Amino acid sequence: MAINYGSYGYGYNNGLQPQPQYFNNTQQQGFSTIFVSDIAEAIATKPDLTGKPLFFYNKANEEIYIKQYDNTGLAPVRTYKLALENNSPQNQTNPYIESFKSLDHKLDVIEKGNKKNERAS
């Protein structure tokens, strides 16, 4: 029984060269955020083996935990908590408020004086 190998003969690949295959292994850029209820959940989570930091958000305590491998091969959990500074705009009083209060008081005195003068006339 004869096997037909085509018109080019056995073992010939029709002149085509194998092409290198390129795989598109693009990974998503950015970071992962995981919502947790306490720091124990962040500690129990395995860190990313690629070295990207994992961000954990604890809404109840307004804390952010970051877990990432460091130079020693360990993956400590760093904690960040929102803290307002004393000189932040939320804690400062507006300097114009006192001026407005003073002017408002002066206007009240003038209006009361005008009402007394209208009654007297």
Percent of the chain with pLDDT over 90: 26
* Predicted model pTM: 0.47
Asked whether residue 3 is assigned to any structural domain, the reply reads no
Asked whether residue 16 is assigned to any structural domain, the reply reads no
| Domain encompassing residue 110 | 32-115
What local confidence, expressed as pLDDT, does residue 106 receive? 82
Structure confidence by residue, pLDDT tens digits, 41-72: 999 999 888 888 999 999 998 899 999 998 88
Asked whether residue 15 is assigned to any structural domain, the reply reads no
Tokens, residue 42 = 């962040």
Asked whether residue 99 is assigned to any structural domain, the reply reads yes
* Rounded Cα distance, 10 and 7, in Å: 9
Query: Domain total for the chain?
Result: 1
Asked whether residue 12 is assigned to any structural domain, the reply reads no
Asked whether residue 14 is assigned to any structural domain, the reply reads no
Asked whether residue 7 is assigned to any structural domain, the reply reads no
What local confidence, expressed as pLDDT, does residue 97 receive? 73
Asked whether residue 9 is assigned to any structural domain, the reply reads no
Q: Which residue has the tokens 């958000």?
A: 57
Tokens, residue 37 = 């209820």
Element (H, E) at 95: helix 95-120
| Among the listed residues 109, 51, 56, 94, the one whose alpha carbon sits nearest the alpha carbon of residue 78 | 56
Task: Classify strands 54-58 and 63-67 as parallel, antiparallel or unpaired.
Answer: antiparallel
* Residue 4 reports pLDDT greater than 70: no
